[in-house]
Chains A and B, each alone.
Chain A
Amino acid sequence: MRNWPDYVRAQLALPELTPERESRIVRELAAQLEDFYRDARDRGLDDEAADAFARAQIRDWAGLARSVRAADAAHTRPRLDRLTDTLVTHASSRTGVSLMFADLLTDLRFALRQLAKTPGFTLVAVLTLAFGIGATSAIFSVVNSVLLQPLPFPDAGALVRVHEMSPRFGRFSVAPANFFDWRAQNTVFSNIGMYSAASGTFDTGGGPERVTGGAVTWDVFSVLGVEPALGRTFRAEEDMPGNNGVIVLSHSAWQNRFGADPNVLGRTISVSGRPVEVIGIMPQGFYFPTRDAEFWQPIAIDPATATRGGHYVGVIARLKPGVTVGAAHTEMTAIAERLALEYPNNNRDESAEVVRLHDQIVGPIRPMLMTLFAAVFVVVLIACANVANLLLVRASVREKEVAIRAAMGAGRRRLVRQMLTESLVLACAGGALGVLLAHLAITPLQTLSAGSIPRAADITLDGRVVLFALALSLITGIVFGLAPSWQASRAGLGAVLKEGGRSSSTGGSRWIRNSLLVAEVALSIVLLVGAALLLRSFSRLTGVYPGFDADPVLTFAVSLPSATYPDEPDQQAFFNRLLTDLNAAPGVQAAGMVQTMPMRGGYVLSFEIEGRPIVDEGTDPSANHRVVSPGYFEALSIPLVRGRYIGHQDTAEAPMTAVVDQAFADRFFPNEDPIGRGIDIGNGTDGFYRIVGIVGNVHYAGLDANASPTMYVPFTQEVFSAMRVMVKTAGDPRAFANTARQIVRNIDPALPAYAIDPLADVVSESVGQQRFAMLLLGVFAGVALFLAAVGLYGVVSYTVSQRTQEIGLRMAIGAAPSAVMRMVVGGGMKLALIGVVVGIAAALGLANLVASLLFGVTPFDPASYVLTTLVLLAVAIVACVVPARRAMRVDPIIAMRQQ
């Protein structure tokens, strides 16, 4: 006879019912089928026929299952249990290997049930972890996209920048003639090209517009390893003056300016008034040398006439396979040193440097990002400590449960595994939520970092970040799960059961909990100190007066194309007319021009002081060089110290004049009056500029740089075709933008005013990186403080709940509520104080790490440490007082009755 229960169980699927119910139904149906079978045998049928007869009683098993389910809805199991059950069945139906997996799933189900039982605890734990893991993943996505991901070129690791090096100025731009020698003599690069930033005026229907691009040698695209999407790139013969009437467009320029028209190839367009033929379109996503480059033209420098005096091009090269950066550096240094001997007039003492392109771009930001990453990692540690503490409290509440399970034969390893599964479930849930938070943080991070971090636009949350978050979740799960599970499984059986069912907290677990809390407070202090230092540093930095008043000033750029303004008098005439028109516009208080924007790079020239012949050519003095129009000082409110400003009398024909700043006067004329003295600026062919005035200092190189000596000369006596215009307005400078655009267009309809920005924005952007670091570290410190407060609150309120009876007893025998309050708050504050002391010590030890990010504040700034301590203690008091107030309200009678 067949085994009827097995037969029924195989046929009837009732996973919705509780196991007890299901087994009863199976048993009963089996019994009935067996009755049918025995009856049939009794009637004389043979075994086979009787078996078939019995089985024929139920043909539609699925139908029966449906009816049973409908009839027995009262015994349906929770959905969660059914889900994990399916998984278990699924796993165990496979090979023996999956037995362990099935075990894991059983643990998983148990863990989920346990966590669902205490939703408050679960929510707090998951949220805590989500914040920790989310913040870390967000910062990791920045680190990943900026520092780890290769640049978007094929085999980008082989791309290098080659610089000239001088003992005096360090790394600087390359002179074209040197480049041609490098190209001819090197054996380490498969390709080497030079480029410079360029801009041109496009008019594709919407009025003239200034567009950024690049001037490149014909083979730069081969260096980068990028083929055009359409058409071709430059031929060698097009990279010569006179033959360079060709242009390659970026994908976005092609889309936005030419409507993605494939017939644009071969068409002649006008760039800055010059006709050029479109020969190629680069693929989408390609950018060089800047992200906003929309076109490329041949740089067209003739090697025969290239100079060594002007350093203004960048050099990019691709290493030959197998050549290291070090080997390339050695060879390029040797070549440069040979050239230095060959051309002592221009190349004296010069050398070369080879840097990986990626390092060049992201190198400067690396310390800041790594500091932030370390900081956010501290947040994760705090979150771990917090959740570990929560779990410990829970574990001590569950001691009895664990003891009973141990008594029923659960091995210690099994128990530890069960507890670890719970913490891993928490960690994974936290991790998943964290990834979501990180995803939401990407856009704000991009906005915040734009302009202050290179490659900010590349920041994405990719597979690597998700993997990172997963790994982080698993690690945190194990880290914060180990202590509690060890603790729980260690609990002595007898001790717990003997205590009449009341959970106890053994000395060991209290010790772990308290240490975790101290660690949490200490870590928060470290972060808070870091944030306080950055905050104070930032306020010092933004408190620096740049030497000019940026607030009322609107700035814009005008660049005169050589096709329509070939000669200096034409350019002069345009700029003079522009100044006159601007000054005549309503609301304008002053208008002036300068050749370089404050806060955006320097323009340093060497000079010779009249009557002080230069002894050694390498030691001539140098200073910032600014070419300015009348009205520049007034527009920026740069004060006149003595003498006069540059004015309208300083025409091209007038005697050459210069104005210097106070720093210049102090440095080069310490005990003399500079006014009336002559300086010969540049290479000594122009003659002497007579100093006519001294003005206030300006921090041209940025707020964090000292004001360095600066000399100003009239724009009529040294003409630049591109100028930055500064307009001081009576109202909001932004409101003047349209008027400015219109004034330029009125003079020359083909000419755009571009880069129109309030000067205050330019100043603010110059400290963007510091702001980024300060804001993020501030957020991390805030989160850390909050987590530490939650942890402290948790521990103190747990202590209160454990000591309810004791407190009741004390109050019953006459302790005043205030004494109880003191006792509870004192207990918590003792831990907080230890944490503060440890944290301050650690912060002092780590302070030098942030030193490179600080301005005007030492890493040991006492105020930051004191402030941090006070903030933390204040928060700690609040976190202790809330549960202590509960303790004060303990009713002695009720507390005693709990006994």
Chain B
Amino acid sequence: MLVLALLESRARHGYEIGKMIEARSGGRLTFALPTLYPMLLRLENRGLIKGRWVEKAGERARCFYRLTPDGRRALAAHRKTWQEYVRTINEILSPGDA
């Protein structure tokens, strides 16, 4: 879900995805390459993302992953489930009127 979310706005390459997870979590969450890469492959094989080799001027060729329509739908579903889950947990945890 995290990977899908990172790809929502634009296509990114594998290294960038790893770095962004680390940066956005403030270093609390790191995906090592041996974990991240097979995950990308799996997502691609499920048709949720699609990798494409892109050679930008002055840069090395990299494989950029972007969301597929299926991936977009899956992300929306995941998000909804997650938000419901968090809300439920929060409701249970909130000190409120108990």
Residues in chain A within 8 A of chain B (CB atoms): 24-25, 27-29, 31-36, 57-60, 63-64, 67-68, 70-74
B34 proximity list for chain A (CB < 8 A): 57-60, 63-64, 67
A72 near B41 with CB under 8 A, answer: yes
A68 near B38 with CB under 8 A, answer: yes
- Cβ contact of A25, chosen from B13, B32, B41, B53, cutoff 8 A: B41
B33 within 8 A of A: yes
Shortest Cβ distance from residue A478 to the other chain B in the assembled complex, whole angstroms: 46
Cα-based distance from A580 to B45 in the complex (angstroms): 99
Shortest Cβ distance from residue B46 to the other chain A in the assembled complex, whole angstroms: 10
B45 near A74 with CB under 8 A, answer: yes
Shortest Cβ distance from residue B50 to the other chain A in the assembled complex, whole angstroms: 13
B38 near A64 with CB under 8 A, answer: yes
A35 near B39 with CB under 8 A, answer: no
A31 near B38 with CB under 8 A, answer: no
Interface of A is mostly: helix
Cα-based distance from A60 to B34 in the complex (angstroms): 8
B15 near A68 with CB under 8 A, answer: no
B33 near A31 with CB under 8 A, answer: no
A29 near B15 with CB under 8 A, answer: no
A31 near B60 with CB under 8 A, answer: yes
B62 proximity list for chain A (CB < 8 A): 31
A57 proximity list for chain B (CB < 8 A): 32-34
Shortest Cβ distance from residue B58 to the other chain A in the assembled complex, whole angstroms: 14
Q: Known contacts being A35-B15, A57-B33, is A28 close to B63, with CB within 8 Å?
A: yes
B29 within 8 A of A: no
Cα-based distance from A36 to B14 in the complex (angstroms): 11
Beta-carbon contacts under 8 Å, B22-76 to A? 32-35, 37-39, 41-42, 45, 51, 53, 60-63
Cα-based distance from A35 to B32 in the complex (angstroms): 14
B60 proximity list for chain A (CB < 8 A): 31, 34
Cα-based distance from A59 to B35 in the complex (angstroms): 12
B35 proximity list for chain A (CB < 8 A): 67
Q: Known contacts being A31-B13, A31-B63, A32-B15, is A68 close to B41, with CB within 8 Å?
A: yes
B14 near A32 with CB under 8 A, answer: yes
Contacts A27-B63, A33-B33, A72-B45 supplied; 17 other A-B pairs, CB < 8 Å: A27-B53, A28-B51, A31-B13, A31-B14, A31-B62, A32-B14, A32-B18, A32-B37, A34-B60, A35-B15, A57-B34, A58-B33, A63-B34, A64-B34, A67-B34, A68-B38, A68-B41
Q: Number of residue pairs across A and B with beta carbons under 8 Å?
A: 58
A68 proximity list for chain B (CB < 8 A): 37-38, 41
A27 proximity list for chain B (CB < 8 A): 53, 61, 63
B42 proximity list for chain A (CB < 8 A): 71-72
A70 proximity list for chain B (CB < 8 A): 38
29 of the cross-chain contacts (CB-CB < 8 Å) are: A24-B63, A27-B53, A27-B61, A28-B37, A28-B63, A29-B37, A31-B13, A31-B15, A31-B60, A31-B62, A32-B13, A32-B14, A32-B15, A33-B33, A57-B33, A57-B34, A58-B33, A60-B34, A64-B34, A64-B38, A67-B34, A68-B38, A68-B41, A71-B45, A72-B38, A72-B41, A72-B42, A73-B45, A74-B45
CB-nearest residue of chain B relative to A70? Answer: B38
Shortest Cβ distance from residue B27 to the other chain A in the assembled complex, whole angstroms: 15
Which 10 pairs from chain A and chain B are nearest by CB?
A35-B15, A67-B38, A71-B42, A71-B41, A71-B38, A64-B34, A57-B33, A32-B15, A28-B63, A32-B14
Residue of B18, B34, B39, B61 most packed against chain A (CB within 10 A): B34
B interface size (C-beta, 8 A)? 20
Cα-based distance from A833 to B13 in the complex (angstroms): 74
Cα-based distance from A27 to B37 in the complex (angstroms): 12
CB-nearest residue of chain B relative to A29? Answer: B37
A59 proximity list for chain B (CB < 8 A): 34
B32 proximity list for chain A (CB < 8 A): 57
CB-nearest residue of chain A relative to B43? Answer: A71
Cα-based distance from A461 to B45 in the complex (angstroms): 54
Cα-based distance from A74 to B39 in the complex (angstroms): 14
CB-nearest residue of chain B relative to A67? Answer: B38
Cα-based distance from A59 to B33 in the complex (angstroms): 10
A35 proximity list for chain B (CB < 8 A): 15
Shortest Cβ distance from residue A143 to the other chain B in the assembled complex, whole angstroms: 61
Shortest Cβ distance from residue B83 to the other chain A in the assembled complex, whole angstroms: 28
Cα-based distance from A58 to B15 in the complex (angstroms): 13
CB-nearest residue of chain B relative to A30? Answer: B60
Cα-based distance from A72 to B61 in the complex (angstroms): 22
- Cβ contact of B33, chosen from A24, A32, A73, A74, cutoff 8 A: A32
Shortest Cβ distance from residue B7 to the other chain A in the assembled complex, whole angstroms: 15
B39 near A31 with CB under 8 A, answer: no
A67 proximity list for chain B (CB < 8 A): 34-35, 38
CB-nearest residue of chain B relative to A28? Answer: B63
A31 proximity list for chain B (CB < 8 A): 13-15, 60-63
A58 proximity list for chain B (CB < 8 A): 33-34
B13 near A71 with CB under 8 A, answer: no
Shortest Cβ distance from residue A710 to the other chain B in the assembled complex, whole angstroms: 95
CB-nearest residue of chain A relative to B45? Answer: A74
A60 proximity list for chain B (CB < 8 A): 34
- Cβ contact of B15, chosen from A36, A63, A64, A74, cutoff 8 A: A36
CB-nearest residue of chain A relative to B13? Answer: A31
CB-nearest residue of chain A relative to B41? Answer: A71
Cα-based distance from A419 to B32 in the complex (angstroms): 50
Cα-based distance from A28 to B54 in the complex (angstroms): 12
B15 proximity list for chain A (CB < 8 A): 31-32, 35-36
B61 proximity list for chain A (CB < 8 A): 27, 31
Residue of A29, A35, A64 most packed against chain B (CB within 10 A): A35
CB-nearest residue of chain A relative to B17? Answer: A32
Shortest Cβ distance from residue A25 to the other chain B in the assembled complex, whole angstroms: 7
Cα-based distance from A63 to B33 in the complex (angstroms): 12
A71 near B63 with CB under 8 A, answer: no
B18 proximity list for chain A (CB < 8 A): 32
Shortest Cβ distance from residue B14 to the other chain A in the assembled complex, whole angstroms: 5
A29 proximity list for chain B (CB < 8 A): 33, 37
Cα-based distance from A34 to B15 in the complex (angstroms): 9
Residue of B33, B42, B51 most packed against chain A (CB within 10 A): B33
Cα-based distance from A74 to B33 in the complex (angstroms): 21
Shortest Cβ distance from residue A535 to the other chain B in the assembled complex, whole angstroms: 68
Cα-based distance from A29 to B53 in the complex (angstroms): 13
Shortest Cβ distance from residue B53 to the other chain A in the assembled complex, whole angstroms: 8
A74 proximity list for chain B (CB < 8 A): 45
Shortest Cβ distance from residue A860 to the other chain B in the assembled complex, whole angstroms: 76
Shortest Cβ distance from residue A66 to the other chain B in the assembled complex, whole angstroms: 9
Cα-based distance from A29 to B15 in the complex (angstroms): 9
